[in-house]
Structure 1
């Protein structure tokens, strides 16, 4: 597994003052918003989103979101994370759902959103895509901004010979568990 988001190209629906989207992948976990390492959408953006272009398709295991720690931490709620194969700004973005943040996240806390989903055979399916989008699904008012102090996208890599993962991104550990590094009877 590896963090694949640090320093990558980012885009957002809007920007508040100088708090640009690239600040969310700068590898700086400072949670004091005014220290200059957090991103925020602008006031009045009623469909706020942020996304990172990973530069290539990846199997996404986890996305972590770090909340601001100085005030207004209640804004990090009603968030959905998607893994997309086409840019979120395209007319019909395609991809897979990763997960949600429904409750609030405490001041300065980091919350994980796990992406693997159980498939019909009891294995795991990992969303695969080049773009990871974070967006608010509902807003309290025009001041309910999307604020992210750090976003880390963790990808899981498998041998390219296809022994552990199929073309549909389904993990097949049972038949190859003796060759999977760190196998302990369950995934992670």
Structure 2
């Protein structure tokens, strides 16, 4: 197993463990990663109690119609934008009825897209305590950029989960 893949798998396991511990759920919305994020998350044992589902919205129009990204935002800025990433995460969270939504959008290459360079990626997290987005400038081929985006969105979610107070212990019958 390659080092980048090991990092991604470790990050996914950590996120799933934290979500199980907190009793919270996750949804994903992906563009450039094309399902790699969902596949990575569902490889972790025990994920069925936390992963609600996800959307792969590779085409720009699907970002609006399926992930609830405002069409005027997409028209004004295009799909590779921090606010689009946030809207995707929020849209996935809402559409899938999850506590947390994560999103990836960017340019995996081999060619620039709409004036954006290969390797420009935005990852976002939306949750009960608000949203966060990171700009990434990744290098390498398509797989390396896509894997890097998955690793970074999982790290961003883990950072958000670690920053929250621990979950309240469950006492008595549910």
**Could you state the TM-score of these two structures normalised by the residue count of structure 1?**
0.33
| Structure with bigger RCO (C-alpha 8 Å, 6+ apart) | 1
Higher strand share: 1
Tell me which structure has the larger Cα radius of gyration: 1
Higher helix share: 2
